[in-house]
């Protein structure tokens, strides 16, 4: 998935909040709690600037249960170097590249927000065909509400890069893709080229996030999946992580962290999640362990993956049964609440932070505990059992 840099224009709204000066790392850190202190003004920079000071509070209504939200709180410190009390998730001075962000309602966006709330500088890689719409939405302020961080400031995006992680280098790109009008106007968007561009622009990064998945035949049962569909799912959803790490690890600072996103279908049967996608997620988890060893020994880089529960994102809606999976989770998970993207973002911020310095090669479940269940307790066969349920009031 990919994205090119926004054209070099400056756009200002009537509410001047965002400076057009060069980026100064935010003095905010993130901590888990219920109190917000300090408000600073943040800016979006992807060769364009957007200004807004509108605060936004997102509420979520579940058909079954109220969603409990544990969000990262950004706190403004006196300086970037001043230690803060408590045990904060502090990513000030760190730079993150998040691959696979093409809208404002998926896990990739939520991870970017949490990393930004913790003080990290944000770079994005957006799929080339989605790039123009994404950048236009950023310029026009359509994402301003969802850019709001817990301290009231706006998440800033330093730069957006075009990226198609299916292709490692220019020589891999077939002619029909090169001439495809959806790729017109974009350049340097293969994995190798993007890594080189980031190195040229910023030198190094500290955090690499893989938020990519695609299975062209995902709605087909595995027995009906073609070789092409199966290998395409593996290429886009798992090998793309290997390729990203291979090309980015030379510019990652020692002690850095990489995070990918997986799903419980890697180890359990999820009817309807087909086309080789379950195999791709299984491969991703296996690769996480091997890459943790190799990248850890050679580069002192940690490699983890988050197994996230179902989210009503645009990408998930394409599968066709996401609402059913969310309802199933609500009825059967130990924590009877709908999972939010922010909760996955919070977990990613922790894994990227020094607090997780000894965690690598791990599959971290962020799914309200659904992975622990051996049976669906909403089955009629358990109707005579006294199964505890959450208070829906």
By annotation, the residues acting in catalysis are 238, 281
Phi-psi region for residue 210, left (φ > 0), alpha (ψ -120 to 50) or beta?
Answer: beta
- Angstrom distance (rounded) from CA 348 to CA 260: 9
Q: If you count DSSP H runs as helices and E runs as strands, how many of each does the chain have, helices first? A: 11, 11
Closest C-alpha among 145, 129, 162 to residue 53: 145
Burial (CB < 10 A; 0-12, 13-18, 19+), residue 1, is buried
State residue 45 phi and psi, 5-degree precision: -135, 110
Report the DSSP beta bridge partners of residue 72. 32
Residues 111, 112, 118, 119: what is their CA dihedral angle, to the nearest 10 degrees? Answer: 160
Q: Both tokens of residue 122?
A: 């944000």
Q: Both tokens of residue 380?
A: 């009629």
> 3-class DSSP state for residue 257?
strand
What DSSP line would sit under 67-84, residue for residue? PP---EEEEE-S-TTS--
- Angstrom distance (rounded) from CA 340 to CA 60: 9
- Angstrom distance (rounded) from CA 286 to CA 102: 27
Residues in the chain: 393
Q: Both tokens of residue 191?
A: 């994995």
CA separation, residue 339 to residues 34, 172, 208 (Å): 18, 38, 23
Enter the DSSP assignment of 19: -
Enter the DSSP assignment of 237: I
State residue 295 phi and psi, 5-degree precision: -70, -30
Q: Both tokens of residue 267?
A: 């180890």
Helices 341-352 and 107-117: crossing angle, nearest 10°?
50
Residue with tokens 């998040």: 98
């Amino acid at each position: 998935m990919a994205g090119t840099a926004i054209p070099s224009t400056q756009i200002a709204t009537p509410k001047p909040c965002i400076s057009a000066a060069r980026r100064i790392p935010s003095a905010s850190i993130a901590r888990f709690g219920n109190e917000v202190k300090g408000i600073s003004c943040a800016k979006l920079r992807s060769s364009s600037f957007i200004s807004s000071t509108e605060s936004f509070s997102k509420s979520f209504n579940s058909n079954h249960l109220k969603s409990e939200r544990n969000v990262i709180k950004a706190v403004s410190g006196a300086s970037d170097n001043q230690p803060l009390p408590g045990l904060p998730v502090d990513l000030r001075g760190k730079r993150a590249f998040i691959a696979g962000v093409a809208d404002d309602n998926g896990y990739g966006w939520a991870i970017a927000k949490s990393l930004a709330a913790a003080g990290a500088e944000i770079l994005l890689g957006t799929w080339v065909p989605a790039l123009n719409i994404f950048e236009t939405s950023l310029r026009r302020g359509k994402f301003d509400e969802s850019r709001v961080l817990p301290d009231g400031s706006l998440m800033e995006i330093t730069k957006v890069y075009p990226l198609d992680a299916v292709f490692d280098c220019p020589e891999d790109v077939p002619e029909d893709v090169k001439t495809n009008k959806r790729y017109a106007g974009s350049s340097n968007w293969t994995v190798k080229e993007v890594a080189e561009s980031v190195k040229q622009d910023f030198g190094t990064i500290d955090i690499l996030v893989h938020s990519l998945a695609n299975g062209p035949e995902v709605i087909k049962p595995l027995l009906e999946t073609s070789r092409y569909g199966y290998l395409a799912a593996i290429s886009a959803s798992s090998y793309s992580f290997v390729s990203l790490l291979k090309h980015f690890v030379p510019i990652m600072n020692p002690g850095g962290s990489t995070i990918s996103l997986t799903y419980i279908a890697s180890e359990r049967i999820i009817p309807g999640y087909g086309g080789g996608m379950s195999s791709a997620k299984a491969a991703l988890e296996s690769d996480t362990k091997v890459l943790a060893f190799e990248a850890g020994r050679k580069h002192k880089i940690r490699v983890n993956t988050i197994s996230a529960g179902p989210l009503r994102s645009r990408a998930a809606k394409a599968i066709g049964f996401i609402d059913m999976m969310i309802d199933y989770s609500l009825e059967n998970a130990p924590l009877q609440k709908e999972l939010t993207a922010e909760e996955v973002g919070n977990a990613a911020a922790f894994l990227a932070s020094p607090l997780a310095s000894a965690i690598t090669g791990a599959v971290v479940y962020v799914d309200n505990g659904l992975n622990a269940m051996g049976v669906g307790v909403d089955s009629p066969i358990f109707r005579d059992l006294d199964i505890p349920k959450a208070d829906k009031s």
